[in-house]
């Protein structure tokens, strides 16, 4: 069986490899659907807040910052909390947020600023975007961990209150 998007080293006639492929057959469609949604959202943001000629591309910076913040939150829930649907990371992380954020537009925007004779702005945008992205991921991770910790404490407190009142625990 030849499937064009499957690695040529994969032999779908081998039972183990076929089972592996069957288990992951929804991953590519999930990524594609998520990518469509994320790229559409980025396109909409660029239409609503266009960058003026030779202007600072604030929309691209904002989109990348929001995407980085959300990937930080998502990864805490996927990796540290667990129990997430197996398609959540491919759909939301790779698809939606991968389609929403944009390294290529960031690079083109930097080159456009250089071409417009604004090297200091280009350098600031180039370095600033990396810094903003790293800080956004960190803020997302810290906020998500704080939220998870708070929710865990609240659940424990409620469970303890039910126990002291003699109620059955679920």
Per-residue DSSP letters for 63-125? Answer: HHHHHHHHHHHHHIIIIII----TTHIIIIIIIIIHHHS-HHHHHHHHHHHHHTT-HHHHHHH
At 74 the pLDDT is 97
Range in 30-39, 120-129, 161-170 with the lowest mean pLDDT: 161-170
Neighbours of 16 (CB within 10 A): 8
At 119 the pLDDT is 97
Report whether pLDDT(115) > 60.
Answer: yes
Range in 2-11, 100-109, 116-125 with the lowest mean pLDDT: 2-11
- Sequence-distant (6+) residues with CB within 8 A of 106 are 57, 60, 61, 64, 129
Domain ranges of the chain: 15-164
- Higher-scoring residue by pLDDT: 160, 72: 72
Q: How far is 63 from 42, CA to CA, in rounded Å?
A: 7
pTM given for the model: 0.80
In terms of Cβ atoms closer than 10 Å to its own Cβ (0-12, 13-18, 19+), residue 99 is buried
Share of the chain above pLDDT 70, in %: 86
């Amino acid at each position: 069986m030849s499937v064009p998007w499957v690695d040529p080293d994969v032999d779908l006639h081998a039972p183990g490899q076929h089972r592996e492929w069957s288990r992951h057959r929804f991953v590519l469609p999930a990524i594609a659907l998520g990518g469509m949604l994320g790229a559409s959202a980025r396109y909409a943001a660029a239409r609503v807040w266009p960058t003026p000629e030779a202007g600072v591309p604030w929309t691209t910076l904002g989109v990348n910052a929001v995407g980085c913040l959300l990937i930080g939150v998502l990864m805490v829930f996927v990796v540290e909390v667990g129990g997430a649907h197996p398609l959540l990371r491919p759909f939301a992380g790779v698809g939606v947020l991968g389609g929403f954020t944009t390294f290529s537009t960031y690079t083109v925007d930097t080159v456009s600023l250089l071409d417009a004779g604004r090297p200091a702005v280009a350098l600031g945008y180039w370095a600033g975007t990396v810094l903003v992205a790293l800080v956004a991921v960190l803020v997302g991770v810290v906020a998500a961990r704080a939220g998870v910790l708070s929710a865990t404490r609240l659940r424990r407190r409620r469970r303890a209150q039910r126990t002291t009142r003699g109620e059955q625990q679920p």
